[in-house]
Chains A and B, each alone.
Chain A
């Protein structure tokens, strides 16, 4: 028996919906989460292993982090960490049932974006 063709819910990113702050931030939350999982967490493991391994391994780690690939990686980590942490708190506020109306969601969204830029810039400045 052929399944009846039911209407499908349109995917929120694509030609069906106008791009909006909340949907873009939602997918960015996931993307930064994946980046933190597959890049930043292994970087933390590398640092811990280098500390335990001895001065030579640690020096090699510092040389990598001082190069342009290391600095670019660090920038990615600090941006992802700032965005994911701030937007994560936004999600936690929503989970308490607060700020769920469109206006509050948008205002908090812009606060998170501004906070991400400021936090990334400050942390990058401090660590370089």
Chain B
């Protein structure tokens, strides 16, 4: 009997946690499916009529698809570049004999942790002098820099787990160092590469601070900047903001539900094992 009560209590607790995690998000999803009349109802209406009016308006009046396109380009390119560079650096740090490994890994960690404002002015000036303000590469370069620590830490922790003899065997077979890395090590650490890819993509998709500084023209702005600056003529366009937010969030929610194990593994890689 006591165990049964415990059991019920436990599930109630799980329910509360899940409910609190999802409630604000569900409320916004719900808002995006209302009509303009329903959204301005006071007190708020709990159930929407399922209208897609705000989605259409966000696309037509607020160029939503444009932001989606920009975000997709920026996040994908950042991810590809970061992963490639992280594979190289992660491999060197995990499996080659180099000095100051701890120091290099530590400095990388530091890079991922300091506040963006401490580099914002100079980064903006670099972009200005290169003529890269309002270009994709203007945000991609800082993003690659800021996601590299994540990529290197995760990949290095995966590369470390492979058996030592792999490269030797490859070299006996006549592979160069570089071939051994990309033909043998990388395929064998595919789960690690995939995990790092997801996390870097999420970071680049969500980043706001540098995008706000560097992409001042609507034409190049990413979703977070677009959503933050949505402004109607007289009122805050809550319906359109909710619709755009839902669109911006769907890929992330899908990633989380399909790959939660990999994400959890990636987030705790390196951090805990010491």
Please determine whether chains A and B interact with each other in the same assembly: no
